[in-house]
Amino acid sequence: MDIEALRTFVAVADEGQFQVAAAELDVSQQAVSKRVAALERELGVRLFTRVPRGARLTLDGQAFLPHARSVLRAAERAAASVRPGKRPLRIDV
Protein backbone atom coordinates (compact mmCIF):
# COMPACT_ATOMS: atom_id res chain seq x y z
CA MET A 1 0.00 0.00 0.00
CA ASP A 2 1.46 3.32 -1.10
CA ILE A 3 2.01 5.90 1.66
CA GLU A 4 1.43 8.77 -0.78
CA ALA A 5 -1.92 7.24 -1.76
CA LEU A 6 -2.88 7.07 1.92
CA ARG A 7 -1.76 10.67 2.47
CA THR A 8 -3.82 11.70 -0.56
CA PHE A 9 -6.88 9.78 0.63
CA VAL A 10 -6.72 11.49 4.04
CA ALA A 11 -6.27 14.92 2.44
CA VAL A 12 -9.34 14.43 0.22
CA ALA A 13 -11.33 13.14 3.19
CA ASP A 14 -10.31 16.17 5.26
CA GLU A 15 -10.85 18.75 2.53
CA GLY A 16 -13.88 17.20 0.82
CA GLN A 17 -12.58 18.20 -2.61
CA PHE A 18 -9.97 16.70 -4.91
CA GLN A 19 -8.87 20.13 -6.12
CA VAL A 20 -8.29 21.52 -2.62
CA ALA A 21 -6.44 18.35 -1.58
CA ALA A 22 -4.27 18.65 -4.70
CA ALA A 23 -3.33 22.21 -3.76
CA GLU A 24 -2.54 21.15 -0.19
CA LEU A 25 -0.33 18.30 -1.43
CA ASP A 26 1.20 20.44 -4.18
CA VAL A 27 0.26 17.99 -6.93
CA SER A 28 -2.19 18.10 -9.82
CA GLN A 29 -5.84 17.20 -9.41
CA GLN A 30 -5.20 14.40 -11.91
CA ALA A 31 -2.50 12.96 -9.63
CA VAL A 32 -4.92 13.01 -6.70
CA SER A 33 -7.58 11.24 -8.78
CA LYS A 34 -5.11 8.59 -9.94
CA ARG A 35 -3.83 7.92 -6.41
CA VAL A 36 -7.34 7.57 -5.01
CA ALA A 37 -8.41 5.35 -7.92
CA ALA A 38 -5.36 3.11 -7.43
CA LEU A 39 -6.11 2.80 -3.71
CA GLU A 40 -9.74 1.97 -4.45
CA ARG A 41 -8.64 -0.71 -6.94
CA GLU A 42 -6.20 -2.17 -4.42
CA LEU A 43 -8.84 -2.30 -1.68
CA GLY A 44 -11.63 -3.38 -4.02
CA VAL A 45 -14.05 -0.75 -2.71
CA ARG A 46 -15.15 2.81 -3.47
CA LEU A 47 -13.82 5.21 -0.86
CA PHE A 48 -15.61 8.32 -2.10
CA THR A 49 -18.85 9.23 -3.74
CA ARG A 50 -18.13 11.96 -6.24
CA VAL A 51 -20.62 14.82 -5.91
CA PRO A 52 -20.83 18.11 -7.85
CA ARG A 53 -19.10 20.05 -5.07
CA GLY A 54 -16.41 17.52 -4.24
CA ALA A 55 -16.21 14.08 -2.70
CA ARG A 56 -17.98 12.44 0.18
CA LEU A 57 -16.70 9.38 2.03
CA THR A 58 -18.59 6.14 1.47
CA LEU A 59 -19.22 3.81 4.40
CA ASP A 60 -16.08 1.91 3.38
CA GLY A 61 -14.16 5.20 3.23
CA GLN A 62 -15.38 6.11 6.71
CA ALA A 63 -14.29 2.72 8.02
CA PHE A 64 -10.87 2.98 6.34
CA LEU A 65 -10.07 6.59 7.36
CA PRO A 66 -8.98 5.96 10.98
CA HIS A 67 -6.73 3.12 9.82
CA ALA A 68 -5.16 5.31 7.12
CA ARG A 69 -4.49 8.02 9.71
CA SER A 70 -2.92 5.43 12.02
CA VAL A 71 -0.61 4.13 9.28
CA LEU A 72 0.50 7.68 8.44
CA ARG A 73 1.24 8.43 12.10
CA ALA A 74 3.21 5.18 12.41
CA ALA A 75 5.19 5.99 9.25
CA GLU A 76 6.01 9.44 10.61
CA ARG A 77 7.13 8.00 13.95
CA ALA A 78 9.30 5.43 12.15
CA ALA A 79 10.95 8.12 10.02
CA ALA A 80 11.44 10.38 13.04
CA SER A 81 13.16 7.59 14.96
CA VAL A 82 16.05 7.51 12.49
CA ARG A 83 16.36 11.19 11.59
CA PRO A 84 19.59 12.90 12.63
CA GLY A 85 19.20 14.82 15.85
CA LYS A 86 16.35 12.66 17.12
CA ARG A 87 18.54 10.14 18.89
CA PRO A 88 20.99 10.63 21.73
CA LEU A 89 24.50 11.35 20.51
CA ARG A 90 26.91 8.48 21.12
CA ILE A 91 30.66 9.00 21.01
CA ASP A 92 33.02 6.02 21.20
CA VAL A 93 36.62 6.50 22.25
Mean per-residue pLDDT of the chain: 92
Helix (H), strand (E) counts: the chain: 4, 2
pLDDT of residue 84: 73
Tell me how many degrees the CA angle 63-68-70 measures, rounded to the nearest 5.
110
Q: For the chain, first and last CA: distance in Å?
A: 43
- pLDDT for 29-43, tens place per residue? 999 999 999 999 999
pLDDT of residue 42: 97
Residue 80 has pLDDT above 70, yes or no: yes
**Global confidence as pTM:** 0.86
- Tell me how crowded residue 91 is: count the other CB atoms within 10 A of its CB: 4
Residue 18 has pLDDT above 70, yes or no: yes
Q: What is the CATH number of domain 3-82?
A: 1.10.10.10
Burial group, residue 29, by CB count within 10 angstroms (0-12, 13-18, 19+): middle
Residue 87 has pLDDT above 70, yes or no: no
